[in-house]
């Protein structure tokens, strides 16, 4: 089991926000990306952050967006669509969405809007 599986989402969340804000994006956009991927509304996301929910439990409770399979590309040199472990793939999906947001991609494209 990867160490990240047991890590609280709340420990990484500020890093996602900081990465986006360094590139002129907002925390609200990061939250929208997380909510799109997981199906959590704002209060549910806040509860998971406050309760220090692990990535494993966070994604176990999530209803992954059906369009998540459209997320492709590399994170840290690894193609997200080729990650074998389902939980690690979901974590990489989130990483990839935040990367795309920080790179200035329009939010509609990040959220795979048709």
Residue 41 lies in a domain: yes
Structural domain of 82: 3-107
Q: What is the pLDDT of residue 114?
A: 57
Residue 113 lies in a domain: no
Q: What is the pLDDT of residue 1?
A: 55
Residue 112 lies in a domain: no
Based on the number of CB atoms within 10 Å of its own CB, is 112 exposed (0-12), middle (13-18) or buried (19 or more)?
middle
Residue whose tokens read 């609200």: 28
- The CATH number of residue 33's host domain is 1.10.8.290
Q: Digits of tens for pLDDT over the chain (114 positions)?
A: 578 899 999 999 999 999 999 999 999 999 999 999 999 999 999 999 999 999 999 999 999 999 999 999 888 888 988 899 999 999 999 999 999 999 999 999 999 985
In this structure, are residues 41 and 35 in contact, taking their beta carbons and an 8 Å threshold? yes
Residue 103 lies in a domain: yes
Give the chain's domain count. Answer: 1
Q: What pTM does this model have?
A: 0.92
DSSP characters over 87-104: HHHHHHHHHHHHHHHHTT
Give the three-class secondary structure for 9: helix
């Amino acid at each position: 089991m990867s160490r990240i599986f047991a890590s609280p989402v709340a420990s990484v969340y500020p890093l996602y926000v900081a990465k986006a804000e360094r590139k002129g994006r907002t925390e609200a956009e990061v939250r929208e990306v997380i909510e799109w991927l997981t199906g959590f509304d704002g209060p549910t996301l806040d509860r998971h952050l406050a309760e220090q929910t692990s990535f494993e439990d966070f994604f176990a409770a999530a209803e992954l967006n059906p369009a998540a399979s459209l997320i492709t590309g590399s994170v840290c040199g690894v193609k997200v669509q080729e990650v074998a472990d389902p939980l690690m793939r979901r974590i990489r999906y989130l990483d990839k969405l935040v990367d795309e947001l920080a790179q200035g991609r329009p939010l509609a494209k990040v959220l795979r809007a048709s």
